[in-house]
Structure 1
Amino acid sequence: MEARAAQLRLCADGGANRLYDEMPALLPHEDPLDVRHRYKPDVIKGDMDSIRSEVQEFYIKLGTEVVDESYDQDTTDLHKCVNFILDYTPNLEKSNLRILVSGALGGRFDHEVGNINVLHRFSSVRIVLLSDDCLIQLLPKTHHHEIHIQSSVEGPHCGLIPIGEPSASTTTTGLQWDLTDTAMKFGGLVSTSNIVREEKITVRSDSDLLWTISIRKLK
């Protein structure tokens, strides 16, 4: 599991419930308690309104740090976790930091929008939101982007979405329906249900874009 190689593992409040409940199901031939011990979070952070008391007590006994920020109701639990990571890695260049957020999509739509907003709030940090079906990341307008597709696990469906502001000009290569100096906005054209055709996709735009691509389910 990639999570075991991470420098820091956090659960955002009720995410600890999902880790506790669902991780043993991913390894059904192993003892559930052993799995929970092996895949414990380093930190649980948030406003602590969702985590079950027995889950919190279980991880505290394993040495997990619990950071209660219930006083702050102006930021989401994911926002709080990203701030914690930035404070934890003050000497690491933001361009070298990678944050993978599992379980960030699906469920309540307002939670999804809040998580997508975090991508914009921390646009200089590479944050990838994952669900069972797709991933989402921000492509800042300050860069020309090369996206290398791992075709064994990604694609073919993809999209580019100008969610922060309209794009007057977006150009791509490597897609079935490439954009050439194309304008995109809500209420107009948005590149959804596109198809990856090459192993390298390039994107250049005058606005921040969300890149999303489907994920193949492992058999």
Structure 2
Amino acid sequence: MGPPSSDWKTFTTSDGTLSFDYPATWSVKDPAGQAPLGGEFVDVVNAAGKQMAALRTNVVTGTECGDQQPYLLIDSQPMQALTEPGSADQNGPRYVFEARGDFSAAQASPPTIASYGITMMPPETGPTACPMFQLFLWPPSGALFGQAYNPANNTTPGDPGLPYLAKAKLYATTAEYQDVRKMITSLRPAKGPVSEPAK
């Protein structure tokens, strides 16, 4: 596997509110106006046509904890650019690559899942955690930018027979993951003119 991408482009949503950077060899699918509940509905795919992340806005953000599961934090980074003015009393958005469930499971199946994206949940402090909640506040309600880790889409080195969550940890060491992380953490309020929608 090669190094992380060095040539990047910038995409701005059709409503002109959010921008992010992405590798120039990847593409953005933006069927503007086709989201069933309004809002933005954008997919990012790599050069092989495999989806790397989805951006959705106008998402309902309410959540309940439910059953706690064994928890693994693989990666985390604060995202100050998305912090809402006047929300100092809330948890700021963070990029996370995290997992829940059975560490010996061969593949993902509820409740075993790993996912990367943006959350506003406070950092977990114990060995178990509530179900994943990778949403952040964005007018008029909330938004998401990320996706579940899938070894069929997310190119992962090592023994294919490794448990699913072991593969997720390995994926975090790849150049592809570094590109995914850089893309998602570049999400910010848009400034300047709106780009042409991607084809």
Q: Find the structure with the greater CA-based Rg.
A: 1
Report the TM-score when normalising by structure 2.
0.25
Question: Higher relative contact order by CA 8 Å / sep ≥ 6: 1 or 2?
Answer: 2
Q: Choose between structure 1 and 2: higher helix proportion.
A: 1
